[in-house]
Structure 1
Amino acid sequence: MSKFKFKFESVKNVKEAFEKKAQKELAQIDLFISKHEDIKQKLIDEINELRKSAYKRKMNISELQFLGGYDSVLRQQVDMQTEVIKQLEKKRAKKIEEVIVKSKEKKMLNQLEETHKENFIKEENSIEMKYFDEIAVQNFNKVKK
């Protein structure tokens, strides 16, 4: 019995490599989103701490103006982080679609390989049965003589 060799094995390997690459890129995007969300949360926490400290002590006008300016800068940074996160979420959605497509392509090739393997095994069994039938006929003819 000969060994099964899938004729599209190289295509299958390339599709698997593309899928793994897309999954790594998706994981990287998720990591970026997480980092930017952490940065955004730290900025929000800093704004809250700034407000608490401003209410606890007496300040002159210049200090209040400085804190007000600092507060607005922090809010702008929060808005920038929010925008970056939105863009990364869009990228993530596109990458998820890409991973799904690549997974489907790989799955189709796996199914094709299974079908080819089943057909190969059926063909091999058929050849083997013909061989055994021929031996049985020859043995029967020898016994008959």
Structure 2
Amino acid sequence: MKKFQFKFETVLKVKEKKEEKLKRELFKLHALQVEQHQILEKIKEEKNKVTKDKSNEFVTDIQSLIYLEDYLNFLRKQIDDVNLKISELQIQINDKRDEVIQASKEKKIFERLKTHHLNDYNKIIISNEQKVLDDIAVNKFNRKEQHNY
């Protein structure tokens, strides 16, 4: 009998590749989010440093005070922008995670189907082998009976 061939093997391969691609995309989104968190921390550290410098009375003239206040406003705006990016990335991550889960479910359906088909194939093989063995046993018995007469 011919070797087992799953008729949906190409579909299964496509589903596997799709799942892997989506996982890579999800990983990239996570990496971007981590990067944005690091940027956020650096900006917050800079803001704290400037606030500390401002409160430590290193600033003696009005012009420097205005400059520091403008810089603090700029840093606050950057913090808001980065927080917005992080929120948007989280939404994208959630969507991508849902896509990965769906792709994984689709792949598992075909994997179970392949397993089911393989089990059916193995049952047929075993059945055919048993028939051959039964035929051999019957023939051997018949030859033995013919020798006895």
What residue is the counterpart of 1:136 in the other structure?
137
* Structure-2-length-normalised TM-score: 0.94
Question: What is the percent sequence identity of the aligned residues?
Answer: 35
* Structure-1-length-normalised TM-score: 0.96
What residue is the counterpart of 1:59 in the other structure?
60
Corresponding letter in the other structure for 1:74 = L
Quote the Cα distance in structure 1 between the aligned partners of 2:127 and 2:60.
95
TM-aligned CA deviation for residue 2 of structure 1: 3.5
Retained in 1: the 8 A contact 2:43–2:75?
Answer: yes
Quote the Cα distance in structure 2 between the aligned partners of 1:24 and 1:42.
27
TM-aligned CA deviation for residue 123 of structure 1: 0.3
Correspondence list, 1:1-145, <5 A: 2-56=2-56, 57-145=58-146
TM-aligned CA deviation for residue 42 of structure 1: 0.6
Provide the aligned C-alpha RMSD in A: 1.0
Q: Which runs of 5+ in 1 are unaligned?
A: none
Aligned length: 145
Runs of 4+ in 1 over 6 A off after TM superposition: none
Cα deviation 1:32-78 (Å, max 9, x = unaligned): 11111111111111000001111222421111011000100110010
Corresponding letter in the other structure for 2:38 = D
Q: Which runs of 5+ in 2 are unaligned?
A: none
Which secondary structure does the structure 2 equivalent of 1:59 belong to?
coil
TM-aligned CA deviation for residue 95 of structure 1: 0.2
Retained in 1: the 8 A contact 2:22–2:99?
Answer: yes
Retained in 1: the 8 A contact 2:59–2:65?
Answer: no
Cα deviation 1:5-35 (Å, max 9, x = unaligned): 1111111100000000000000000011111
